[in-house]
Structure 1
Amino acid sequence: MTKASQKDRTFKVTTSLGKDVLLFYRMNAREELGGLFSFAIELLSTDSALDITRVLGQGMTVSTPLPKGGTRDFHGIVSRFKYAGTQGGFAKYEATLVPWFWCLTRTADCRIFQKMTAPEIIKKVFRDHGFTDFADKLSGKYVEREYCVQYRESDFSFVSRLMEQEGIYYYFQHAKGKHSLCLSDNYGSHGAVSGYAKIPYFPPDRHGRRERDHVYDWAVTQEVSTGTVALNDYDFENPKADLLVKSVVKQRYTHGDFEIYDYPGEYLKTSDGENYARTRIEESHASYERVEGIADAAGLQVGALFRLEGYPRRDQNREYLVVSTDYELVNNEYETGVNEGEGISRKVRFNAMESRVPFRSPRKAPSPIVQGPQTAIVVGKKGEEIWTDKYGRVKVQFHWDRLGKKDENSSCWVRVSQAWAGKTWGAMHIPRIGQEVIVEFLEGDPDRPIITGRVFNAVEMPPYTLPKNQTKSGFKSRSTKKANEKNFSELSFDDKKGQELVYFHAEKDFERVVENNDSLKVGLDGKDDGDQKIEIHNNQTLIVGNKKSKTGTQTITIWKDLKETIKTGDETVTIEKGSRKTTIKNDDTLTLKSGDHTIKISAGKSLIQAAKSIELKVGPSSIKIDPSGITLKSTKIQIKGDAKVDVEAPMTSCKGTGQLTLKGGITMIN
């Protein structure tokens, strides 16, 4: 067999195997705006034992000349290569070409992006895989996403759903040996292919006689679309804000006013919500009117603009955007006597829309849903033990996050469920760095985590040894910073039958405020009389009443004994206003083992009253007062008046058993 060649062939293929090792025979090429292309190629070769691995993953280009010079190229990466038997005297092979973007369907990840816009995230994913053949033709402004999670989804699916949500789409531009992805969001990112700004229409019965590229079949379709898209959401930092937004596009047909309402809209500002609503209504109306056509036009490409000319219905002669193409290219045979009826064939079926109507890709990429709760570890800034904000939120490191550094940048601030959450009242227990928490996700959305619980693990063990202390429950805290297990406050309960205990421990101070009554009862009728012991290592101050109320009464009732012991120091009782009254129904004994006893009355009088007697004793001397009289008894009694002494009674007796002396400057006896 003479060596086959592609020279002078209308369609040629260039591969990594070298010139004419593979010969182009047929191709069906599908491209669409906002989607991956796929080129199915049939190839011939004189080598029936090609090493498939030398082709798989390599680039391949199919080219065809254009009427005004240059070539129309179809380039892609070989994702599939097949030996398909023989055709005539040739070995037959089949190849599938895809864009480099398709490679992202073969990789998946769990990853967190923070403080980046959707385009920034998309381009980072591309570059992280080593792909730089893309052009940013975006003109819109995109909101910075505080927190965006790729969760158990392919990189292709992740990037696609970001594009679809933001109204971004893409198409490919081909050249020999390469293709580029173009990111687009508006009319201005498109242009006409050189020589194809205008394409004429020729009727089907005449198109075969025309050498000029042209359209020969044209059909217009319109369909009912949604008239309104309404979105809503909630912002906990502005809980009273009304975030409901609407976008309306109504056509002139019946039933064009139906509404789609969705929640959550995934936005915190109405301006962002309006953009998302507009994107979704534009997605619906992008398919309102479509054109399906067939052409013999090698330059007709997805993402390109062209103006139709010469169509009988004049309203159709306007500018269009090519949305999809299906190329069918067939070369003539490389040997005689094989399929002699077939020759060179080129046909392109296409779908187009009015160029000024915004195109938006339909939402096909599924949003990931976290099927249930997860656990994570609380993290924060190095050197800190608690890392929180004014809402009591914390940062966490998810177990699936390979890139997080277990620091304050590992996640967004995550809200923490508390037992109560009122307006400046409720419960507050802030998870601390290193603790394991239970995380759930609002609507199952990995972008919206919330902490709903805490759990112990082998590092963060329970405060009580288990199962030994299985009857014990309560709250035990840990002092911070740089404290150990001996630094804690605790309120615990032991429910062991017969040994029930409520235990309270304050690591430092304990302050109790009771705004009305306070009642403490120790012991219970029919159980135990009960005891109370108060041990104070330093000072105790008891204040009953206050300056504002100027009232306050203390009542102490003791059914049996009261014993007070002051081992060192003094006792001082001060009554600033009012009286003191002590009533004792039995004996009262005051014993001073050392020191003096002083009673001082600055004003007023002192009254000591007894029913039987009052007696004062100092050694052998005494003064006794009883109802029969007053008896002074001592070794020596001296009565001295600085001015005068009067002794007066109906009967007065003065007797000295040994000697009686009466002496004075003037002595008068009457």
Structure 2
Amino acid sequence: MMDRLSDAMSGAAGRMLSGFDSALSALLASWTSAQRLYNLEGAAPVSDLMVERFSVVDTISEPFQLQLHTLCVHNRTPLQALLGQRITLLSTLADGSRHRRSGLVFEARDAGADGGLVRHQLLIQPWLALLGHTRNSRVWQDKTIVQILDDVLGADAYKAHAAWQWGETDAEGNTEDLAAFVAQGLNGGVRAYCVQYRESDLAFLQRLLAEEGLGWRVEEADDAPSGHRIVFFADSARWPENTTSRSALGGAGIRFHRGSAAEEQDAIQSFGGWRQLTPAASAVLQWDYQAKRAIAAESPTAYDYTSESMRDMAPWLQQYEPIGATADTGTCSSAELQHRATCRQQAHEARHKTWLGRSTVRSLRAGEHFGLTQSTLDALSELQSAADREFCVRSVHALGVNNLPKELSKRLMQQPASDPFAELDGEPASTLSESLEHDPALSRKAAELGYANRFEALRRLIPWRPLPPTTRTALGAQTAIVVGPGGATSPNGADELYTDALGRIRVQFHWQSAPGADARPDNRSSCWVRVAQRWAGAGMGWQHIPRIGQEVLLDFIEGDIERPIVLGSLYNGRGEAGLPPTPGGAAAEADTSAYKSSHNHGPSAQGNLVGGGSGGHSPAWHGGAPGPAGKDAAAQNNTAALSGFKSKEFGGEGFNQLVFDDTPGELRVQLATTQHATQLNLGHLIHQADNHRGHYRGRGFELRTDAYGAVRATNGLLITTFGTREADPAGDNAPGMALLKQAATLADTFSKAAKTHQTTALASAIGAMRANQSSLADQLAPMKALHQSVSGMVSAASLEQAITDASNKATQASDGKLPHTTDPIVAITAKAGLATVAGQDIQVASGEVISWQAGQDIHLGSGQQMRVHTGQSIGILAGAVQAGQGAKGTGLTLIAGKGPVQMQAQADQAEVAAKNLVNIQTANAHIDWAAAKKITLTTSGGAQIVLSGEGITVQCPGKITVKAASKSFVGGAKEDYVLPVMPKDDISWVNLEGRYEDAWNTAWPLDGLKVDINGSTVAKSVTVDMTQEIA
């Protein structure tokens, strides 16, 4: 707007210039630069300008503001030509030397015209103020503040003007080691993660310097592009001495003296102290969440708080500042934290006592020190050292008025209303400048002497530090993309996870990947960021690590942009089918054709149409296809009733999932993995293929796998088809107890019957190895011991008491008791029936007793052969019931439908006895009786026939009657008969059992075992096979 008005008024300015009288021309011709108090130096059009007056605000670690009011006798200078120009204000000192203040033109405005003169207002600032006209978002990692700010200041935008120096250089040429000072800070001065977010480069620079306790000042430098350089410092005592203090009076300092144009040098007219209450201590704390400890440090004040009024107040005047977590910012030691606390306290103490002054010292500027002489402080010289009279200038507010010729000055003052641009005067470039110009005392002094200032200073012995900066504030949560090594946003094959031991991830904020973003490698990702879990504890909790390419939501602890934390993952993109996005809310038809190809065992429409591989994509389950599923139906029978979670195989298509199906009347839970199609399905069983809800499969539960399965229970396992009431305990097996008691009673009954009939009793009823003993109980036979095991009752009061009851085999039922097996047994109880079917073999083995019992019948059938082998006896008892209706069909029937029937007693005698008739018959052949020695036929009456190798002997107590059609007695004859050969070797059966001492009491094999009995080796090895041979 100023440029347009300037061009519009150029004609009027020209007419005013043509009216300039010859007397004024003569005045300007005689007012040479050598006679002027203030001059400007610079290239055209700066060289055409003359100083009318100026105001300057110069504060340490702030860009100074020099507002120039200039005059020009030429046509109005285009404002655009002035912006960015280098300009130097030259101030003539008392000794005739020139003091320089260089800068760049940041603002230019027309200030009207007086007679033939054109006025401009210029705002001059150091080149560092250019940084305030930017705004950036970027990241640095594992860099020091020197490296970070070198990156910032070395940007192409500043190269034409930038010049800076790290560390003050003293009069002897020694430069302070700023890197060593920084290294005393947190993490050895290395910033693990440093973020500039929506900050100007200047605000970012100011914040980092304040955090480290560093400052900066402006120093004139002829070799610098803009005539000055920025000097960063840690030790304010190294500031250079002011020109006037160094050169005037032989270097004795600046006098405390009245101000007058007749004085030989500039002086300080007023000087006094101002104290304010500051903290008595600064404390800082950092939390180390990896070591789970807090590190704290405190720096007390160096001032005297012993007065009665302050003594009670001091303990309360403490500034306490938590400064984040060490794992986020790097490691931190107590010494490093103490350095931070000391810098904080020094910043407060630098403001505890401020020296306020007014002077006419035209060379005075912030960032210099001076010595004060001939002041009232000299009266205290016996109490204070010379160093106490040296002061560092913290800020200077100054006004300067050029020594215009009287006639020109009078003419300008007489024509204020002639300025055609007076109505354009708005808010000054700086409110501080405005306050200076309305300081009556300062204005009068400047008008009288041509220059006046007011300044703030502190003793040189007291370190100057910037005040702690305000916390970097993030404006709410942000989203970002999870990245891998090098900032990769897409996984490399199966490497989909990039994390550390704490489950932290790296992300890339969207402002890091935007076009034109800083291309440095460490700006491609964040630091390691913790992921918030629903539950986290020592080696336990809920763990979900977002994968490379997924989009996540982050918030920032205490709103600090440098302390991000991942809150969760986000879906992005759009799934196949459904309603596409339309511009301006235009109507569109949903495309559901992709849903048609899904079926019980194959999904469809599971792809992602947007995202390009970077993001969480669309959800696995949705409600976009709610209609009934069927052939050619564009629906998947899913009304958005599925919830749960689903993972994905690294680099593959497999997945694991837990699905909760809340479809009304069809509640279902599925825990599944695609590895060998292993699933646990509960409730309403259906087929499911991702979002497709398929056909009905049944109700209840299904545990299935295409691989191997195992069910293990260390203390016992109950499988039953008997239902229970909701109030019944989980281990209730009352039906099993009743059935097992019936079995025990049946076994006992038949065992007694076997004893009565003089056959082998049942070991399950009388004991296996010894009477009334079993492996389960020392005082009970196997069946009764098993019944005791399933009848256990344990305390419900505590786990410890329950374990004690189980080990004591407690079976007494009472209030406060719960059913529980007393031994690790497997109990299978079937209400209707139990079917065990195998396509090939069924192996049943026991270390002690196998008992098969039935209340009615047991049928054993074999398609080919049946073999019954025993190490001792086989007892077969039939008809062990009383005669009567229930005894019909009793007895023992042994029939070979094909082939012979062979019975042998290979080691002892064989007996055949019957209460009544013994009937031996052959239907088609003969009966052979053979014996190695003799055959004897005897009746209870005494008759006997003996057949032996010596002959046949017939005897009886009565007569012998022989009836035959003919009788023939001939000479002797002999016929040999082949008798069976019986095994001669005795087989001794030894019950061997060995077990490992492990949690499962695992049996160990007997192969290669040496067997000793009573000290004698009976076997050097044992080979366990189907024939049970011992070699």
SS of the residue 2:101 aligns to: strand
Letter in 2 for 1:203: H
Gaps of 5+ in 1: 513-519, 524-528, 656-660
Could you tell me how far apart the structure 2 residues matched to 1:65 and 1:609 are?
138
Q: TM-score, normalised by structure 1?
A: 0.86
By how many angstroms is 1:563 displaced? 3.0
Residues 318-337 of structure 1: matches in 2 within 5 Å?
318-333=389-404, 336=407
Instruction: Report what 1:372 is aligned to.
Output: 476
The answer on whether the counterparts of 1:369 and 1:444 sit within 8 Å (CA) in structure 2 is: yes
By how many angstroms is 1:648 displaced? 4.8
Q: Is 1:650 matched up with 2:937?
A: no
Larger RCO (CA within 8 A; separation ≥ 6): 1
Could you tell me how far apart the structure 2 residues matched to 1:432 and 1:152 are?
28
Gaps of 5+ in 2: 1-21, 168-175, 184-188, 247-251, 327-331, 414-446, 574-610, 612-616, 627-637, 685-697, 716-774, 777-822, 880-889, 903-911, 956-1031
Letter in 1 for 2:467: P
SS of the residue 2:205 aligns to: helix
The answer on whether the counterparts of 1:267 and 1:273 sit within 8 Å (CA) in structure 2 is: no
By how many angstroms is 1:209 displaced? 3.3
Residues 433-455 of structure 1: CA deviation (Å, up to 9, x unaligned) = 12222211110101111112222
Q: Is 1:240 matched up with 2:293?
A: yes
The answer on whether the counterparts of 1:6 and 1:23 sit within 8 Å (CA) in structure 2 is: no
Q: Is 1:217 matched up with 2:217?
A: no
The answer on whether the counterparts of 1:199 and 1:215 sit within 8 Å (CA) in structure 2 is: no
By how many angstroms is 1:55 displaced? 0.4
**Aligned in 2, Cα 1:541/1:215: closer, same or farther, shift over 3 Å?**
closer
Could you tell me how far apart the structure 1 residues matched to 2:119 and 2:523 are?
59
SS of the residue 2:511 aligns to: coil
Instruction: Report what 2:255 is aligned to.
Output: 201
SS of the residue 1:669 aligns to: strand
Could you tell me how far apart the structure 2 residues matched to 1:148 and 1:407 are?
10
The answer on whether the counterparts of 2:669 and 2:683 sit within 8 Å (CA) in structure 1 is: no
The answer on whether the counterparts of 1:370 and 1:445 sit within 8 Å (CA) in structure 2 is: yes
**Aligned in 2, Cα 1:28/1:536: closer, same or farther, shift over 3 Å?**
closer
Residues 549-628 of structure 1: matches in 2 within 5 Å?
552-568=824-840, 570-575=841-846, 577-594=847-864, 596-601=865-870, 603-611=871-879, 612-619=890-897
Could you tell me how far apart the structure 1 residues matched to 2:116 and 2:503 are?
77
Residues 383-394 of structure 1: matches in 2 within 5 Å?
383=492, 384-394=495-505
By how many angstroms is 1:167 displaced? 1.3
By how many angstroms is 1:496 displaced? 1.3
Instruction: Report what 1:419 is aligned to.
Output: 534
Q: Is 1:191 matched up with 2:191?
A: no
Instruction: Report what 2:218 is aligned to.
Output: 172
The answer on whether the counterparts of 2:244 and 2:361 sit within 8 Å (CA) in structure 1 is: no
SS of the residue 2:273 aligns to: strand
Instruction: Report what 1:147 is aligned to.
Output: 193
Instruction: Report what 1:74 is aligned to.
Output: 101
Instruction: Report what 2:360 is aligned to.
Output: 296
Equivalent of 2:317 in 259, 268, 275: 259
Letter in 1 for 2:873: K
Report the count of equivalent residues. Answer: 642
Radius of gyration: which is bigger? 2
Structure 1, 337-346 or 228-237: larger mean CA deviation: 337-346
**Aligned in 2, Cα 1:334/1:15: closer, same or farther, shift over 3 Å?**
farther
Q: Is 1:157 matched up with 2:203?
A: yes
Q: Is 1:472 matched up with 2:642?
A: yes
Could you tell me how far apart the structure 2 residues matched to 1:159 and 1:415 are?
27
SS of the residue 1:490 aligns to: strand
Q: Is 1:37 matched up with 2:307?
A: no
Could you tell me how far apart the structure 2 residues matched to 1:651 and 1:509 are?
80
Letter in 2 for 1:429: H
By how many angstroms is 1:87 displaced? 2.3
Letter in 1 for 2:652: A
SS of the residue 1:283 aligns to: helix
By how many angstroms is 1:348 displaced? 2.9
By how many angstroms is 1:593 displaced? 2.0
Instruction: Report what 2:666 is aligned to.
Output: 499
The answer on whether the counterparts of 2:535 and 2:541 sit within 8 Å (CA) in structure 1 is: yes
Could you tell me how far apart the structure 1 residues matched to 2:566 and 2:543 are?
13
Letter in 2 for 1:360: R
Instruction: Report what 2:510 is aligned to.
Output: 399
The answer on whether the counterparts of 2:648 and 2:656 sit within 8 Å (CA) in structure 1 is: yes
SS of the residue 1:604 aligns to: coil
By how many angstroms is 1:123 displaced? 2.7
Could you tell me how far apart the structure 2 residues matched to 1:180 and 1:442 are?
38
By how many angstroms is 1:72 displaced? 0.7
Letter in 2 for 1:582: W
**Aligned in 2, Cα 1:456/1:648: closer, same or farther, shift over 3 Å?**
farther
SS of the residue 1:401 aligns to: helix
Could you tell me how far apart the structure 2 residues matched to 1:579 and 1:266 are?
70
Greater helix fraction, Structure 1 or Structure 2: 2
**Aligned in 2, Cα 1:538/1:454: closer, same or farther, shift over 3 Å?**
closer
By how many angstroms is 1:649 displaced? 4.8
The answer on whether the counterparts of 1:199 and 1:213 sit within 8 Å (CA) in structure 2 is: no
The answer on whether the counterparts of 1:46 and 1:91 sit within 8 Å (CA) in structure 2 is: yes
**Aligned in 2, Cα 1:94/1:69: closer, same or farther, shift over 3 Å?**
same
Residues 413-458 of structure 1: CA deviation (Å, up to 9, x unaligned) = 1111112212122222211112222211110101111112222222
Structure 1, 152-161 or 118-127: larger mean CA deviation: 118-127
The answer on whether the counterparts of 1:379 and 1:408 sit within 8 Å (CA) in structure 2 is: no
Q: Is 1:447 matched up with 2:562?
A: yes
By how many angstroms is 1:224 displaced? 2.2
Could you tell me how far apart the structure 2 residues matched to 1:245 and 1:543 are?
60
**Aligned in 2, Cα 1:111/1:565: closer, same or farther, shift over 3 Å?**
same
Could you tell me how far apart the structure 2 residues matched to 1:566 and 1:360 are?
87
Letter in 1 for 2:893: E
Instruction: Report what 1:435 is aligned to.
Output: 550
Could you tell me how far apart the structure 2 residues matched to 1:544 and 1:85 are?
99
Could you tell me how far apart the structure 2 residues matched to 1:224 and 1:531 are?
77
Could you tell me how far apart the structure 1 residues matched to 2:51 and 2:938 are?
157
The answer on whether the counterparts of 2:140 and 2:194 sit within 8 Å (CA) in structure 1 is: yes
The answer on whether the counterparts of 1:247 and 1:274 sit within 8 Å (CA) in structure 2 is: no
Residues 126-177 of structure 1: CA deviation (Å, up to 9, x unaligned) = 1124243111116312421111111222221111111122211111112565
Q: Is 1:106 matched up with 2:133?
A: yes
Letter in 2 for 1:396: V
Could you tell me how far apart the structure 1 residues matched to 2:939 and 2:321 are?
112
The answer on whether the counterparts of 1:118 and 1:162 sit within 8 Å (CA) in structure 2 is: yes
By how many angstroms is 1:13 displaced? 0.6
**Aligned in 2, Cα 1:319/1:495: closer, same or farther, shift over 3 Å?**
same
By how many angstroms is 1:32 displaced? 1.1
Letter in 2 for 1:554: V
The answer on whether the counterparts of 2:669 and 2:682 sit within 8 Å (CA) in structure 1 is: no
Instruction: Report what 2:466 is aligned to.
Output: 361
By how many angstroms is 1:248 displaced? 3.0
Residues 514-565 of structure 1: CA deviation (Å, up to 9, x unaligned) = xxxxxx9999xxxxx966666665656677769xx99632221122233333
Q: Is 1:483 matched up with 2:652?
A: yes
Could you tell me how far apart the structure 1 residues matched to 2:701 and 2:366 are?
90
SS of the residue 2:548 aligns to: coil
The answer on whether the counterparts of 2:350 and 2:463 sit within 8 Å (CA) in structure 1 is: yes
The answer on whether the counterparts of 1:614 and 1:626 sit within 8 Å (CA) in structure 2 is: no
Q: TM-score, normalised by structure 2?
A: 0.58
By how many angstroms is 1:105 displaced? 1.5
The answer on whether the counterparts of 1:6 and 1:12 sit within 8 Å (CA) in structure 2 is: no
Letter in 2 for 1:141: V
Greater strand fraction, Structure 1 or Structure 2: 1
By how many angstroms is 1:190 displaced? 0.9
The answer on whether the counterparts of 1:115 and 1:146 sit within 8 Å (CA) in structure 2 is: yes
